[in-house]
Amino acid sequence: MVKKNYLIFDFGASNGRAMVAHFDGKRVTTDITHRFEHGPVYVTETIYWDILHLFSELINGLQASLSKYPDIRSLAISTWGCDFGFIDNKGKLVSNPVTYRDKNRHERSKLLYEILPQRELFELSAGSTNEIMGIFQLFSFKYENALELRSGQKMLMIPDLLNYFLTGLAFNEYTNATMMLLCNQYERTWEEKILNRIGICPSILNDLVMPGDRIGEIQTSVCEQFGIHPVPVIVPATHDTASAVAGIPVVDEGKHWAFISLGTWGIMGMQTDQPILSDQVFLSDYGNNAIPEGKNMLVKYITSLWIIQQCRNHWRNEFGKDLSWEEIVRASVQSGPSKTFIDVDKPIFGLPQADMPKVIQEDCQQRGQETPQSLGDIARCFYESLALKFRYNLELLEEISGHRLELLHIVGGGTQNKILCQWIADAKGIPVIAGPPETTSMGNLIMQLKSDGEVENLREGREISLRSSSIDRYEPGDKRYWDDAYEKYIHLLQMEKRET
């Protein structure tokens, strides 16, 4: 078979890339044609995404890819979830989107719950009521009578906006729409009861499209402006985690398996046939989000590598030099077992911090723990705390599902930290299959292949992912140290719970 070429755009919250996937009928090889870094922009006490910069990099990726591979059959875009922008009645961008870490989004959640109680929001949307979800930003706009709602005619999430800029067509892709907490996930429609309660006009929402749908092609004006030719535009699961789960190279479908998408966020959970609504799910802060083919992921969003990324930024400035991840991991190993722990989900760790190491130190002091001093001590404190937090939530997942987990898939960029993957296996006492780092891209590709008639379903796509992927297996080691550390960690969580 002659190889077919497909263009994948994978935009994370700190970097992005364009990748051309070559499919020979059985396996996939890839060529990264463009990379870039980006980040939130803080201005006038608000944290924005620079959507125009993202679109500019999208065009750069398109030009580079089509120059090298003119015969690209389709393209698809996935990004992080939750965030959105508006276009006005003339189809123009109203404002840069506000990020999920903006403080108003979080601080006004209690006001939202006065109108729509948290439990009712969970029951109507089936989603996690974590304040990063889009409804909290939408309510914040409503509360302050913001320009976005006064001038905005259509709400488009980040990948929807990018698709709109390319095609001129306004749609909302379903898996990402569930990150707004505005959907009825049983009916796969917008939930007007939620919109009515918070006073939002349903007309701002668009028709829902499903992963694998072709929404159009690059419009003529864009092609002429940038010297490219039309390419069909497919929607994958535009929420990057939904694409990551779709692309997991599942090694044994017969076992009870869970996953962790390990990156800036640690998004962990399991695939289910439909959303699960129960007291246990609600009280454990789990929630449901859509993945392709009508499947569901029962997930929890955990503040993850964001914390050590913030530490690294501070250390780079403090030491006046670059600092590699290998150096940080090596220092954490040399530091030895941690004597202190943090609850990574404490709200203060999820906010941008100029001096995250100091925030960690102060939190340890407030809990009467020994204060980590060196870079290695702080990194070890974080990595062990994260592994223990994963164990805690995996055990909750076992209680919710009624099944003991037999296997854990870890995907995403964090799989490159082999020490952390081993510690997670040790802490939970479960085999870990790690990799590949780019399952979001694979899930994106699978939906393009399905649209092109190359695969019939997600199962066939995952078989391609397994044949095409390099994965590592980590067997759990001596669990005694981690059992002892876990007792201390549970005590810490109990202290945090009493205080809140």
CA 488, CA 387: separation in Å to the nearest integer? Answer: 13
The answer on pLDDT for 437 being more than 70 is yes
φ, ψ (nearest 5 deg) of residue 381: -55, -45
Q: Residue written as tokens 């592994």?
A: 387
**Residue 426 and residue 293 in one domain:** yes
Beta-ladder partners of 270: 298
**Residue 144 and residue 169 in one domain:** yes
What's the average model confidence in pLDDT over 130-145? 95
CA 302, CA 253: separation in Å to the nearest integer? Answer: 25
SS3 state at 98: strand
Using the 3D structure, point to which of 216, 240, 264 is the last residue of a domain.
240
Q: Is residue 442 part of a domain?
A: no
The answer on pLDDT for 251 being more than 90 is no
Handedness of CA 205, 210, 213, 218 (dihedral sign): positive
Query: What angle do the packed helices 480-499 and 418-428 form, to 10 degrees?
Result: 80
Q: Report the domain count for the chain.
A: 2
Buried b / exposed e across 180-191, counting CB within 10 Å, b at 16+? bbbbbbeeeebb
Using the 3D structure, point to which of 185, 220, 240 is the last residue of a domain.
240
**Residue 136 and residue 280 in one domain:** no
**Residue 132 and residue 254 in one domain:** no
Q: Is residue 136 part of a domain?
A: yes
**Residue 180 and residue 314 in one domain:** no
What pLDDT does 393 receive? 97
**Residue 376 and residue 352 in one domain:** yes
**Residue 487 and residue 351 in one domain:** yes
- pLDDT, tens digit, 9 for 90 and up, residues 154-187: 999 999 999 999 999 999 999 999 999 999 999 9
Q: Is residue 68 part of a domain?
A: yes
What pLDDT does 436 receive? 87
Q: Is residue 485 part of a domain?
A: yes
Q: Is 188 left (phi over 0), alpha (psi -120 to 50) or beta?
A: left
Using the 3D structure, point to which of 203, 221, 240 is the last residue of a domain.
240
Beta-ladder partners of 85: 156
- pLDDT, tens digit, 9 for 90 and up, residues 7-19: 999 999 889 999 9
Buried b / exposed e across 362-375, counting CB within 10 Å, b at 16+? ebbeebebeebeeb
Please give the structure tokens belonging to residue 288.
């449901």
Band of pLDDT at residue 500, cut at 50, 70 and 90? low
**Residue 93 and residue 210 in one domain:** yes
Q: Is residue 460 part of a domain?
A: no
- pLDDT, tens digit, 9 for 90 and up, residues 56-83: 999 999 999 999 999 999 999 999 999 9
- pLDDT, tens digit, 9 for 90 and up, residues 448-489: 999 999 999 999 999 999 999 989 999 999 889 999 999 999
The answer on pLDDT for 1 being more than 80 is no
Q: Is residue 224 part of a domain?
A: yes
Q: Is residue 446 part of a domain?
A: no
**Residue 215 and residue 260 in one domain:** no
What pLDDT does 498 receive? 77
Q: Is residue 444 part of a domain?
A: no
CA 499, CA 488: separation in Å to the nearest integer? Answer: 17
**Residue 22 and residue 122 in one domain:** yes
CA 349, CA 378: separation in Å to the nearest integer? Answer: 13
**Residue 217 and residue 361 in one domain:** no
Q: What is the CATH number of the domain that holds 488?
A: 3.30.420.40
CA 73, CA 92: separation in Å to the nearest integer? Answer: 29
Q: Are 159 and 206 in contact (CB under 8 A)?
A: no
What pLDDT does 223 receive? 97
Q: Are 142 and 200 in contact (CB under 8 A)?
A: yes
What pLDDT does 227 receive? 96
What pLDDT does 356 receive? 98
CA 126, CA 470: separation in Å to the nearest integer? Answer: 35
Owning domain of residue 282: 250-435+470-500
**Residue 208 and residue 324 in one domain:** no
What pLDDT does 172 receive? 98
